[in-house]
A and B are shown apart, each in its own frame.
Chain A
Amino acid sequence: MSRQLIKFDERENRIVRKISSVLYIVTLFSLIVFQLYRQFVLNQTSEEWNDIAILISFNAIVWIGTSLYLTGVVNPKVVRVRNLILGFTGFVILGSVLTVLKYSVLLKQTLNMSLILDSFFIVLMISALLMGLWWLLAYFGNKRMEKRIN
């Protein structure tokens, strides 16, 4: 019987996946540490560490989205409107705080009303887009799963 040099069975696949998961978390946390180091220790401008910040954000958004879609466990039909509003409000508050910190602490800009309103509008739009995207993925993921089991 001819044998392949490496042919993983279920146990070995499980081990490889576990290693990959752990290393993914290590990589992601390392990126966060690198970004904070550049930002606060090296005092680099936001343009210099934006690449890492975008990578971290992209990872988090895609990770949450694909988890919602592929697991299909969240049934958007039974999600309460109150929870959606709470989630959205949380996003807006977090986004607003981070935006204020960005302008006042990092960029050392004086905040005027026009800047605050512009930033608040962007935060609202991004929060709505993210919530909408995740809700859609959860909806289609759940629909796909129901189709598979029925």
Chain B
Amino acid sequence: MSMKTPARMNLRLARIEKNLTQQELADKVEASRQTIGLVEKGGYNPTLDLCLRIAKALDKTLDHLFGEENHNE
């Protein structure tokens, strides 16, 4: 069963703030550009491990990037 995950606007904003392209962030966290794109759009629910790597790469907290109140449909 696939569950629609919400778009992660804070993740996109944090990446742009850091001047990183999706590909550059993907390289930093050892994922593909497609995966990062899907996480941002809400098309893929990443594992905690990937969330932590993304948060570390963007110098943000998990709550800021993936917290409930930061979801934007």
Contacts and interface: CB of A to CB of B under 8 A. Distances in A.
A17 to B, nearest CB: 13
A22 to B, nearest CB: 14
Nearest to A11: B35
22 contacts: A1-B27, A7-B32, A9-B30, A9-B31, A9-B32, A9-B35, A9-B50, A10-B31, A10-B35, A10-B46, A10-B47, A10-B49, A10-B50, A11-B31, A11-B32, A11-B34, A11-B35, A11-B38, A11-B44, A11-B46, A12-B32, A12-B35
A12 B31 CA distance: 9
B59 to A, nearest CB: 20
A118 to B, nearest CB: 48
Interface string A133-145: 0000000000000
Q: How large is the interface on B (under 10, 10 to 19, 20 to 34, 35 or more residues)?
A: 10 to 19
Nearest to B35: A11
Contacts, number: 22
Interface in A1-53: 1, 7, 9-12
Looking at A7, A9, A11, A12, the one whose CB has the most chain B CB atoms below 10 A away is: A11
B1 to A, nearest CB: 12
A16 to B, nearest CB: 13
Nearest to A3: B27
Contacts of A1: 27
Contacts of B50: 9-10
